Homo-oligomer: A and B are copies of this chain.
Amino acid sequence: MRLTRHTDYALRVLMYLSAEPDRLASIGEMSAAYGISHNHLMKVVNALVRAGYLTSVRGRSGGVRLARPPETIRVGEVVRMTEDSFRLADCETCRIAPACGLVSVLDEAVMAFLAVLDRYTFADLPEREVDFLSIFLPPSEPVPAD
């Protein structure tokens, strides 16, 4: 069971930008930070701009930032938007679908899954003790050999 890469990257972008909501970040910066495809990230960022999650600022020192405070963006709403489908099995082509009790059970399980994600916002996520953005920085000095 897996989320699409589109969802994975959308969550990463929102986490990245939630760490410093007022700063503009470029797609290049985020693509380098995560080590993921610039092109794919651009599509994800464009979708998030269109959906009203990000504001895009053009120009040399441009970039994107959150269009809403991170504490108002729920993980569940983003996953609902970015996933193509929550039909977990191939029921469309299955001949027993009209009599299948599994369809409603899977739906109930997906609802429980999303209900958990609805309880968290992007202000809740980067909450570990490690400073979130510092992970992307190279070590300031080489670690002594001994």
Interface set of A (CB-CB < 8 Å, partner B):
1-5, 7-8, 11-12, 15, 33-35, 75, 83, 85-90, 93-96, 98-102, 105-106, 108-110, 112-117, 120, 124-128, 130-132, 135-136
Q: A34-B96, A98-B128, A108-B116 are in contact. List 13 more A-B contacts (CB 8 A).
A: A1-B1, A1-B83, A1-B88, A2-B85, A2-B88, A11-B102, A12-B96, A34-B95, A96-B136, A99-B135, A102-B125, A105-B120, A112-B112
Beta-carbon contact of B3 and A3 below 8 Å: no
Q: A2-B85, A15-B96, A128-B99 are in contact. Are A117 and B136 (CB under 8 A)?
A: no
- Docked Cα-Cα span, A128 to B104, in Å, equals 11
- Docked Cα-Cα span, A69 to B106, in Å, equals 22
- Other-chain contact of A95, B7, B83, B96, B135 (Cβ < 8 Å): B135
